[in-house]
């Protein structure tokens, strides 16, 4: 069989190399499933994988197709092989249905002008399976694609995919997938519904500033800010998808890819918090403009919002990572955590191959050995403690309760001081009066400098009393100006 060396095959699986998609299929002995090399599932151990040159060979070896990476939509490998014109012609005839009726391998060999034994030998050499098995695999995989991607009736699917009867069609699916075709359609785990909605806001809206803020903190693989659009992966209740948001005149356009329509209401609520769509910026600006130092900043960016957070646990992790380091360094640390602990997803879920990771849930972080993180042991311990607490109490970081109650919950955890708790409250709780007075960016802002000197956190808090109840928005204006945006 024509396969790259096993080590190359395994590296392709580890890196999800698309160049070998269709050239190799990976059987996983621990699950009994075979996959494409680009499968988003966690890479199995080397000793648990077998490599095959075709889907038919993997099925002949007793493996059943993966429902996540969908071998039925992998590239056709016949053109890649190119080493046997006879096999290429035979595959074309099989594709046309020559073996779907009463004809056997002998009729196929006759059409090709070779002996039946020679044809079987060529199939075994190049595809690792006999012609009948190849034909059966193609029928089943094509039928699976019709079930997944169309609303054809099962009778029509059976006919279109070359099964002589619905009974044979049902039997083939039960033998291979261990469920009926209708169950596959109901339970198609990879199916993602796409919905596009308008999210309104009260003008003005400073999209440039909020996109810049999110871009500077975007975690590779999880978030992407490009061409005026913000996209990220999401996970709710064990289901995964993505959201994309872009601006239009008086609303944002949100494209939501998610398999559960009953989650849409909650997703929209999160997006409204993330993009601070319900703020009355005119009232906020009128109040904060009473400070002579803030007034020019507000005049320059009247539609500035305070970005929220998609998820409270994710933001808590990011807040710990961001303690006493730069925004870029914190983003890189978050990227490292996600790369090692995050859940891998494929483009069929997210719609973009660059969005390949979902931020890990608390139980996953709690169970991980985080020694790979290049940071002090105390901070690693704080990450683990946070994850363990959030896993034990799923509501620990939900935006519930009063501001003071939320701060008490956080401050009781290792690694959470006043800055971390206030920053988390500002973005996750959407508390308009949260104010991380010890923030380096706020303290070094020339707007709050006193006679050319940086104020202390205590002095800054005293100065900020006049900004209440909109201290969070004052902080956002100071951050934006300090970053060169105001």
- Give the range among 265-274, 363-372, 392-401, 459-468 with minimum mean pLDDT: 392-401
Question: What is the average pLDDT value for the chain, to the nearest integer?
Answer: 86
* Domain assignment present for 109: yes
The tokens for 169 are 């069609």
Given this model, what pLDDT does residue 349 score? Answer: 83
Residues 48 and 103 in one domain: yes
Residues 86 and 178 in one domain: yes
Residues 317 and 249 in one domain: yes
* Domain assignment present for 285: no
Given this model, what pLDDT does residue 85 score? Answer: 63
Residues 207 and 342 in one domain: yes
Residues 479 and 384 in one domain: no
Q: What is the CATH number of the domain that holds 382?
A: 1.10.340.30
Residues 163 and 18 in one domain: yes
Q: Where are the alpha helices (DSSP H) in 26-104?
A: 55-60, 78-81, 85-95
In DSSP terms, 236 is beta-bridged to: 239
Question: Is 330 within 8 Å of 318 (Cβ atoms)?
Answer: yes
Boundaries of domain holding 473: 291-301+431-486
- Give the range among 76-85, 204-213, 225-234, 452-461 with minimum mean pLDDT: 76-85
pLDDT higher than threshold 90 for residue 211: yes
Question: Is 306 within 8 Å of 473 (Cβ atoms)?
Answer: yes
Residues 295 and 352 in one domain: no
Given this model, what pLDDT does residue 149 score? Answer: 64
In DSSP terms, 354 is beta-bridged to: none
Given this model, what pLDDT does residue 2 score? Answer: 64
* Domain assignment present for 283: no
Residues 231 and 89 in one domain: no
> Is 439 an active-site residue?
yes
Last residue of a domain, which of 152, 186, 220?
Answer: 186
Last residue of a domain, which of 413, 429, 445?
Answer: 429
Given this model, what pLDDT does residue 203 score? Answer: 83
Kindly report the backbone phi and psi dihedral angles of residue 372, in degrees, each rounded to the nearest multiple of 5, phi listed first.
Answer: -75, -15
Confidence of residue 81 (pLDDT cuts 50, 70, 90): very low
Q: Tell me: the pLDDT tens digits for 251-277?
A: 899 898 988 776 787 888 889 889 998
pTM of the model: 0.63
Catalytic, out of 21, 206, 431, 439: 439
In DSSP terms, 254 is beta-bridged to: 197, 245
Q: Tell me: the pLDDT tens digits for 287-335?
A: 999 999 999 999 999 999 999 999 999 999 999 998 878 899 999 999 9
Confidence of residue 177 (pLDDT cuts 50, 70, 90): confident
Given this model, what pLDDT does residue 465 score? Answer: 95
For 156-167, the DSSP string reads HHHHHTT-S-HH
Question: Is 293 within 8 Å of 447 (Cβ atoms)?
Answer: yes
* Domain assignment present for 205: yes
* C-alpha–C-alpha distance, residues 83 and 52, integer Å: 17
Residues 202 and 328 in one domain: yes
Last residue of a domain, which of 407, 429, 451?
Answer: 429
Q: What integer is the mean pLDDT of 419-439?
A: 90
Catalytic, out of 9, 35, 39, 66: 35
- How many domains is the chain built from? 3
The helix (H) or strand (E) run that includes residue 295 is helix 295-300
Q: Which of 6, 34, 8 lies closest to 19, judged by CA?
A: 8
Q: What is the CATH number of the domain that holds 14?
A: 1.10.10.60
Question: Is 391 within 8 Å of 363 (Cβ atoms)?
Answer: yes
* Domain assignment present for 107: yes
Using the structure block, give the residue that is written with the tokens 């996750």.
428
> Is 35 an active-site residue?
yes
* Domain assignment present for 286: no
* Domain assignment present for 1: no
Residues 241 and 325 in one domain: yes
* Domain assignment present for 284: no
Residues 75 and 173 in one domain: yes
Residues 30 and 157 in one domain: yes
């Amino acid at each position: 069989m024509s396969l790259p060396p096993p080590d190359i095959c395994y590296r392709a699986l580890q890196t999800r190399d698309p160049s070998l998609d269709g050239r190799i299929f990976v059987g996983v002995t621990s699950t009994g499933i075979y996959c494409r090399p680009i499968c988003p599932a966690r890479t199995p151990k080397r000793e648990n994988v077998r490599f095959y040159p075709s889907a038919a060979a993997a099925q002949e070896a007793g493996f059943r197709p993966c429902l996540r990476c969908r071998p039925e939509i992998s590239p056709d490998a016949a053109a890649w092989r190119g080493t046997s014109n006879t096999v290429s012609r035979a595959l074309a005839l099989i594709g046309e249905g020559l073996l779907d009726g009463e004809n056997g391998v002998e009729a196929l060999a006759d059409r090709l002008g070779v002996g039946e034994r020679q044809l079987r030998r060529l199939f075994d050499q190049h595809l690792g399976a006999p012609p009948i098995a190849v034909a059966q695999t193609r029928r089943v995989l094509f039928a699976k694609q019709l079930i997944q991607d169309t609303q054809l009736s099962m009778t029509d699917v059976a006919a279109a995919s070359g099964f002589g009867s619905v009974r044979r069609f049902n039997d083939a699916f039960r033998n291979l997938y261990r469920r009926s075709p209708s169950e596959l359609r109901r339970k198609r785990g990879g199916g993602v519904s796409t919905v596009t909605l308008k999210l309104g806001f009260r003008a003005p809206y400073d999209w440039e500033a909020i996109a810049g803020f999110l871009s500077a903190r975007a975690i590779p693989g999880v978030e992407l800010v490009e061409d005026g659009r913000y996209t990220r992966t999401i996970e709710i209740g064990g289901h995964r998808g993505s959201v994309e948001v872009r601006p239009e005149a008086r609303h944002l356009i949100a494209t939501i890819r998610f398999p559960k329509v009953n989650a849409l209401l909650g997703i929209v609520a999160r997006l409204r918090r993330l993009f601070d769509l319900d703020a009355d910026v005119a009232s906020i600006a009128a109040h904060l403009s009473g400070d002579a130092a803030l007034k020019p900043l507000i005049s320059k960016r009247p539609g500035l919002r305070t970005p929220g957070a998609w998820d409270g646990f994710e933001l808590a992790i990011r807040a710990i990572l961001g303690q006493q380091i730069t925004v870029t360094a914190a983003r890189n640390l978050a990227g490292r955590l996600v790369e090692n602990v995050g859940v891998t997803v494929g483009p069929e879920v997210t719609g973009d191959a660059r969005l390949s990771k979902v931020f890990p849930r608390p139980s996953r972080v709690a169970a991980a050995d985080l020694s790979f993180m290049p940071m002090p042991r105390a901070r690693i311990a704080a990450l683990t403690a946070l994850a363990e607490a959030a896993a034990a109490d799923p509501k620990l970081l939900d935006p519930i309760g009063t501001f003071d109650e939320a701060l008490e919950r956080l401050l009781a955890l290792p690694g959470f001081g006043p800055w971390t708790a206030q920053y988390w409250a500002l973005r996750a709780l959407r508390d308009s009066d949260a104010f991380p007075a010890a923030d380096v960016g706020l303290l070094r802002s020339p707007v709050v400098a006193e006679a050319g000197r940086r104020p202390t956190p205590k002095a800054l808090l005293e100065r900020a009393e006049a900004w209440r109840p909109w201290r969070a928005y004052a902080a956002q204006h100071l951050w934006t100006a300090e970053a060169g945006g105001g």
